[in-house]
Every structure is written in structure tokens, then in C-alpha cells.
Amino acid sequence: MKPTNIKDPEYFHKVVDCQYACPAHTPVPEYIRLIAAERYGEAYMVNWESNVFPGVLGRTCDRPCEPACRRGRVDEEPVAICRLKRVAADNKGDVSAAMPVAPDIKKQGRVALIGAGPASLTVARDLAPLGYEIDLFDDQPLAGGFMRSQIPVFRLPPEVLDEEVGFVLDLGIKQHFRHYVASLGAVLEKDYDAIFVGTGAPRGSDLSIPGREEAGKHIHIGIDWLASVAFEHLSKVGRRVLVLGGGNTAMDCCRTARRLGGEDVKVVVRSERAKMKASPWEIEDAMAEDIPILSNHVPKAFVHEDGQLKGVRFTLVDVVYDADGNRKLVPTGEEVFLEADDVIIAIGQDNAFPWIERDLGLDFGKWDMPIIDPVTFQSTNPRVFFGGDAAFGPENIITAVAHGHQAAISIDRFIRGEDVADRPAPGVTLVSQKMGVHEWSYDSAVSPEDRFPVPHVDKTLALKDRKVEVELGFDRAVAYREAERCLNCDVQTVFITDKCIECDGCVDICPTECINFVPNGDEADLRGRLRMAADEPGQDLYVSEALAQTGRVMVKDENVCLHCGLCAERCPTGAWDMQRFLYQVTKAGRSCNQSTR
Amino acid sequence: MTYIKPSFRHPKAPVNELGWTRQDYEGGLSTLCAGCGHDSISAAIVDACFQLNIEPHKVAKLSGIGCSSKTPAYFLSGSHSFNSVHGRMPSVATGANLANRDLVYLGVSGDGDTASIGLGQFAHGARRNLNMTYIVENNGCYGLTKGQDSATMDTGSVNKKGDRNVSSPMDVARLAIEVGATFVGRSFSGDKEQLVPLIKAALSHRGFALLDVISPCVTFNNHAGSYKSYEYFRSVKEVMPLDFVPVREEITASYASGTTCEVRMHDGSLVRLTKQDSDHDIEDRQSALQAISHYESQGKVLTGLLYIDRDSEELHDVLGTARRPLNSLTEQELCPGSRFLDSINAGLR
């Protein structure tokens, strides 16, 4: 193999598995160290800079970082990254001094944001400090989008959302709430330099089976029903509730139903339990609230009498996979009837753009979705940009934020007349952590502790009041111990070939046997020839130049490196060094490498 | 300074036939200088014992004084250990071995401990063919007392201060062959491909097995001009590659050519060796000594298994000692009664 080019920022970025997996590439180990150091405000700002809604995400994120966490590959469970983020938010204190200020004179240009969800708010946050005049439109009375209408208050208290939405709105955003934009054409006619569409995926999928219309009064679409509850148009549900669907919306629906008078609430899914789309922890939380999950039930008909819903009839199925791995649901012939006073349908959501005229030079493609550039988020009408669920269909908050940052870069470049396709490079620093002969400026010792569970409020109390937050969050002492579980994967093992005397000290000390000195070969050959076979192709091999004495190369399998620094402590010549790698996605308006800290 | 090694290991770390991982053969974290060759030898001992499926509690590790003699703390923490007086490890090993012949005896010593203060002890251990493996971690200097030249330092080698050594070196491998050791090998701490199978073969040998392992001292003897630095030794070593095939493994290939030979060990395992020189008969003392001298005269150092006597009598055979460890002998066996005393007395009349 050729020597690894560690000057390519993406090489070490990939080693920081959590940050790499995060759509917004939040520097996770960086803020976890700040939490351990009780510097909560700074930990919050590292987050805020990257993901705009640390308090919200610390409670509700889909956490793509945690399955990626290296700790999960050597220990039972990954670091509780998401809940540590909440610790930073809960303990941040007054961060107003650290917040950016929008200039009074706005002369960069005018931007309209349609929809006030996480994507639009991120665009606003990035552009307002640069001097753009921003108009924000939403048909709801308050900003937040699906964060407000879909996430139940027992998971996300409104104060937390209000504060973080407020940080953005306080940047001098012109707010137009309860204002439904019925025509994009009309907006285009106004003198906006650019328009951003962040209207989400607002239409819940329906289930057209017999009885749907007749019993319609007690059959609800999940996302609409949650919104009605959130805006307090609705405060009761029947005693027996069936929730159809296995995603996170279904989990929010069933748990909300338990708090509105639903005593016998069941989740019913078509396929296997293992194929449910909901996050495992959300399923766990639902089950902890006495909500059973019935799998392999395909709904056939709503049963009703005199316009009154009686229940739902299901066909039981077996899940069969054919030779190509395609799933088929084969009816067993058995039918089941489940009684219900209310049914909530939470089987997915779709995009809908009835308000966008089709003659604006904005092309639509497959599934009637607008054609959007996946890098610049620009539509075929160069003045119109998309982001969040509106761009490529339903995802999650952190993805919407990531879209917002990129769209803001594009809008800024577009208005300044620069090439939108020319993207700014990330900001990268790589600094040695050596403090003394065997001392490092990070806690290199690896904590052997198991993941700490987040304490929950008493169940009876939680079920009595919809507004009681279920999770209590880590206290500072537990947060410290959980933070110490982080392996500091951003403190990189940097190998300097000409300093190596081939003493094997690093090979002998490495607890996970990831360091090797072997004759070079191609990648497949090398992967099989190491002390421990490198059989995770997604994890790179770090290969040095040929060594002076034997002509061998150093090959390090990044897969389960603990970043404990023992290789560097054992190295007599400093050929190994532990260097902190900070990778920051460049935001709008910052063309050169500029750190926030 | 880190004193605790993380407890996590590679999730796919293999287990040996006893169901143990390599971690079960490790010891405390070394306090030797970073880059010390001795740490590599400790790692090779761990590998060898793990691969040989030796139960750590069936091993007695013994040492004298010096950097090398500290190392038993850094491997096999589940074994019996005795850190003895300077140069006196062979006596302690002899006593322990005579008392309990069922353990595997592994002595670790240095060039000072073996070739200076302990030379007499070492020579007599070898001469008696005590059943043990004796590893000399040879760095040519007294690292623990600021790097003075040791008795194994080669003539002409320059020390860190810049002085050239004029004395003749003691070659412990040659000496061991001369005085009667029945397994003699030489290796290099930086060549685990050879060192690990060599240690395995030594541990499988019945009798006195001496391994002279060149182990550079990074602090005092790894500079230009030193004959025992990583770079210099790599440039002069002539390697005889070695392969150790345990008893239960099927032997898949057979070699009969002049440079490749197979040696069946006492326990049935096999050492497969590629010699540098077809004239070198590793089962012949004179031939082994000649091979060493031959390479030395060319400024080279021959490494690998230099000499072996497979069917020698070890000390227990010579002394006709009890077949069981003393601690397992009961009163009945130790005090067989007056009938036996009478017969002994009768034999003396």
C-alpha cells in the first residue's frame, strides 16, 4: 500500500467515528472532554456552533454517532454521547456573551426562509451574523417546526426549545408566523436575493382499507394528531388505543396516548420486531410504559357499527425471505380482531408541495420531489434552495441542521456572485498533546466503567401529566464518569517514520494489538497478515513509508485503537505522538480556517 | 506515566487450547526505559507460553539482579517467581527444580548477572544439565548503573562516552556449548519471528537450554559505534529461520536438503530449521562452535538454534531423584519404617 496521507483531513476525520457519522460532524470528543473538565458553557458552544440545538438534540437526536462509537466495538455499549450533550445544555449557565451578534445594518442581501424548522433556523443562524436581512415564514404560531409539533413535551420541554429557537430569532430575524405561504411564485416576485424552502415532510401517510371513511372520526394520522396535542387542540383519547406503525412517530403517539387517558395502548406492526424503524431506546421507553408491541399483524379493515369505531381486523403473516433477501409477508390464514376506541396511523410521512407552481423553472423529478443538488442544496431555479425533510424526504433534526449549514454556504456564495459548487475546505488543527515524558494533556487512561443509565422520573408521575419530562438527565458526577468512558478518538496516533528505530516497543505494549511492522503488500494481503486480522473494511489501515533498517512498513489497524497513548509512551524516539485533531465544518462566510474557540 | 494498561483487548483476540487469551499471560506494565529490547523479549515469552498452552501456575520464573532480572514482573503474573541474589539465580533454580520437577523453569538473566558475577553459577548450571530455560538478555552494558561496558561487550565497540572497548568479550553461547549445555541458541529482541519459536523450542527441551538474546539498551548502548545497537546488530546478524511445530499439529512438509533440517524434540514436537551453512551440524558440538567462529571471523553473528543434544540425561536422571515433587510425598514414603532401615543397614555391613 502507499503511505497514508494524513494531511488529507478526511483520513483522521474518519478515525473519529462519532464525528464522522454525525451529519453535522459535531466534534464529539472535544465537547465530552470539556464536560469532564466541568466547562459546560464551552462544551455547549462547541455543540451550538455545529448543531444549533444542543438542548433539543441532547434529548431527541437519532444519535447516528452512538452505533459508530469505537467504545461499542471493545466494550458492551458505546458512550452515552447524546445524553452528555444534554448535560452541557443543562449546565451551560449564561452563554449570551458567547453568542454572535447580527450587525444593525443589513446590506448583504435579503433572504426568505419558508418554514421555521431546524433547517431554516440553521440557515438564519449562519446568515444573520453576516449581515443578511432575513424573513422567516411559518403557518404555525411559534418557530420550531416538527421539533415543536411532533416531539411530545415529556421528551422535550418547551422551555428548552424556546431558548434555543430564541438564540436564533434574537439575531434580528423578521418573523412572519401564522403566515401560510400559498405561492412560491409570489415570493419569487418579491425582491429576495435567495429563497430557502424548509417546509419539512408535512403529510402523514394514510391507510386506505375498508372502514377508513366510515369510522374516520376516531382514526387519526399520527403527525397531525401529535400536532393537535402539542398545540392543545386535543387533550383526550379513548381508553383502548391502537397505534399502527413501528417508527419513532408511532412511539411518540403511543406514549402520548398513555398520558391522555389511554389505558390499553398497543403498537401494531406489519412485519417483524427487528425490522421496526424506531430507535431501540424509544421502543424500550414505550414498553416501559406498559405498551405491548404486536408484530406480524397486517391491518385489513376498520370495524365499525353505526359510524362508531369498534376495532381493527388484522391478518397474521409469516415473514419469508427469498434467495435475493427480499422480504415477503405471507398470510398464515389466521385473523385477529383487536378492539379500539381510537386508532392512530403512524406509517410514514411524505413531502407535499401544493404551494409550488410548476412553471417557475424549478423542476420536479421522481415521486414529485424537487430536483436538488445534494451538495449545494440548490434547485433548478438558482434562487431557490432546499433543506431538511423538504429536500430529500423525511430524515431527522441533525440532518436538517447539516443541510441548513450547507445551504447557507450556497446562499452566501450565490448572493456574492461566487461559484456555488466551490465548497470551502474544513477547518483542521492537529496539535501534539505531549506535556512531559509520559504525560498527556488529555486523560489517556481508559476507564473500564460500564455505560451509565439515564435516570427516569417515577412512572406513575410521568403518566399522570403529559408535561412531566420523563428523562432526568445525568447529574454532574455521573456525567463526569460517563464522559471519562470516551476514548478520545480525536487524539490521533501520528507516526513519524524517520524517527522509528524499529524496537517493537509499541507493538509489545499495544493492548489491542493494532500496531504491526511487516513487509508491504496490497491492502487485502496486508489486512490478512497483521497480528490481528483487520477484517473491518470500513476501518482504514494507517501505513507508513518503508523503514530505514528493515524496509518493512508500520501498519496500524485503526479499528479498535483505544487512543490510550501507550505506543507513544513506549516509543524511545518520539516516532509516535498523540496529536489532537479538530475538524470543523466551515460555515457560511468563513472562507479561511477560523476556530471558534 | 501510565502504570495501568487498559483492560480492553481486541474483541477477536484468540484463545489457546486452555481457553485463555494472551492477556492471561501478561504481567505488570514495564518500568524499563521506553524502547528497551528486554520488553520485546518479555512479549516473546508471553507469546511462546500462550502458544504452547502452558498454564502460568506451572511455571517458575527466576532471575538475579539487573534490568533483565526485573522483567519477570512484566510477564506471566500468574506464575511462581523468585528474584534472587546477583548472579545466584542458577543455584536457586537448582534447588527449586530438585524440590519440584513438575514445573517449567524459566530463568531470566543479563550479561552482567550471567557473564560477570554469576559466571560460575551459570557454568555449573549448564554443566549439570539442569532442566531449565536460561535466557540471557544481552545488551553489552550495565544499564542499571549508567551503562558501563559489560563482559559481553565486543572488542572495538564504542560506549556512549566515546571510549573504545579493548577487552575480549565473553560469548555465553559458546561457553554454554563448551561446558555442557544441551540446547544453545542465539537470537535478537527485534526478530520475534525467530525468537518466539526459539523460546518455544527451548521450553520444550529437556535439559539446560541457553538462549543468548541480543537486546539493545536504548539509553546507553544504541548509538553509532556500538556493536549491540538495533541498527548495527541488524546489519551483522546471519539469521537461521526457525519454525516450531507442536506435537499435535500435523507435519505437512518434509525437508531433506542440505540447509534445512528437522529436529524432533524430546516431547515429540518438531523444530524445523533453515541453516546458513550446510556444513553446520547442529547436533555436533565442534561443528556448532566452528559455525559460530566462522561467522565471527567475517564480522557476522549467527542467530538461531546453534546446538542441540536431544537425548541427554538431565540432573534428575543423573541423581536418580524421586519421580514426584517433594511436596507430594507423604509420610509413608518419606518414613517407610524400620524394615527399610534394617535393609539399608544390612547393605552397609
Percent of chain B with pLDDT over 90: 86
**Helix, strand or coil, per DSSP, at residue B71:** helix
> In this complex, how many residue pairs, one in chain A and one in chain B, have their CB atoms less than 8 Å apart?
102
- Work out the percent of chain A whose per-residue pLDDT is above 90: 90
Q: Which domains does chain B have, with CATH numbers?
A: 22-319 (3.40.50.970)
Check B37 against A503: CB less than 8 A apart: yes
Pairing between β-strand A194-197 and β-strand A109-114 as defined by DSSP bridges: parallel
The helix (H) or strand (E) run that includes residue A110 is: strand A109-114
Q: Which residues of A touch B9 (CB under 8 A)?
A: 74, 511-513
Q: Which residues of A touch B216 (CB under 8 A)?
A: 503
Q: pLDDT tens, position by position, for chain B (349 residues)?
A: 567 889 999 999 999 999 999 999 999 999 999 999 999 999 999 999 999 999 999 999 999 999 999 999 999 999 999 999 999 999 999 999 999 999 999 999 999 999 999 999 999 999 999 999 999 999 999 999 999 999 999 999 999 999 999 999 999 999 999 999 999 999 999 999 999 999 999 999 999 999 999 999 999 999 999 999 999 999 999 999 999 988 766 655 555 556 788 888 888 888 988 888 888 999 999 999 999 999 999 999 999 999 999 889 999 999 999 999 999 999 988 898 999 999 999 999 8
Put simply, the answer to whether A504 touches B189 (Cβ < 8 Å) is: yes
Nearest partner of B83 among B64, B96, B59, B109, judged by Cα: B64
Max Cα distance, chain A (Å) = 90
Distance between CA atoms of residues A400 and A405, nearest Å: 9
DSSP string covering B306-320? EEE-TT---HHHHHT
In this complex, the residue of A512, A549, A569 whose CB is nearest that of residue B9 is: A512
Contact residues on chain B for A513, CB-CB shorter than 8 A: 9-10, 13
Q: Give percent of chain A with pLDDT exceeding 70.
A: 99
Q: What is the 3-state secondary structure (H, E, C) of A23-63?
A: CCCCCHHHHHHHHHCCCHHHHHHHHHHHHCCHHHHHHHCCC
Cα-atom radius of gyration of chain B, to the nearest Å? 21
A445–B36: do the CB atoms touch at under 8 Å? no
Which among B10, B38, B71, B237 is the top mutation candidate for probing chain A, defined by the most A β-carbons within 10 Å of its own β-carbon?
A: B10
Is beta strand A132-137 parallel, antiparallel or unpaired with respect to A109-114?
parallel
pLDDT category at A327 given cuts 50, 70, 90 is confident
Q: What was the pLDDT predicted at A593?
A: 39
Query: Which chain A residue is nearest to residue B12, measuring alpha carbons?
Result: A532
Q: Which residues of B touch A499 (CB under 8 A)?
A: none
* CA-based nearest residue to A128, from A147, A145, A105, A144: A105
Residues of A with CB under 8 A from a CB of B: 73-75, 437-439, 444-446, 448, 501-505, 507-509, 511-514, 532-533, 535, 549-550, 560, 562, 564-566, 569-573
CATH class of A205-346: alpha beta
Instruction: Please judge whether B8 and A562 are an interchain contact, meaning their C-beta atoms are less than 8 angstroms apart.
Output: yes
Whole-number Å distance between alpha carbons of B307 and B236: 20
pLDDT per residue as tens digits for the range A46-98: 999 999 999 999 999 999 999 999 999 999 999 999 999 999 999 999 999 99
Please provide the DSSP assignment of B251-268 as one string.
P-----STTEEEEE-TTS
* Whole-number Å distance between alpha carbons of A329 and B154: 80
Average pLDDT over residues A453-470: 94
Tell which CATH architecture fits domain A491-584: 2-Layer Sandwich (3.30)
Mean per-residue pLDDT for A404-419?
96
CB contact under 8 A, B1 and A532: no
Of A563, A575, A566, give the one whose Cα is nearest residue A517. Answer: A575
What value does the mean pLDDT of chain A take? 94
Structure confidence by residue, pLDDT tens digits, A221-271: 999 999 999 999 999 999 999 999 999 999 999 999 999 999 999 999 998
Domain extents in chain A: 11-97, 101-202+351-415, 205-346, 491-584
**Do the domains at A11-97 and A101-202+351-415 have one common CATH topology?**
no
Architecture of domain A101-202+351-415: 3-Layer(bba) Sandwich (3.50)
Q: Do B43 and A504 touch (CB under 8 A)?
A: yes
* Superfamily of segment(s) A11-97: Alpha-helical ferredoxin (1.10.1060.10)
What pLDDT, on a 0 to 100 scale, did the predictor assign at position A436? 84
Radius of gyration of chain A (CA): 26
ipTM of the complex: 0.90
Residues of A within 8 A of B41 (CB-CB) are none
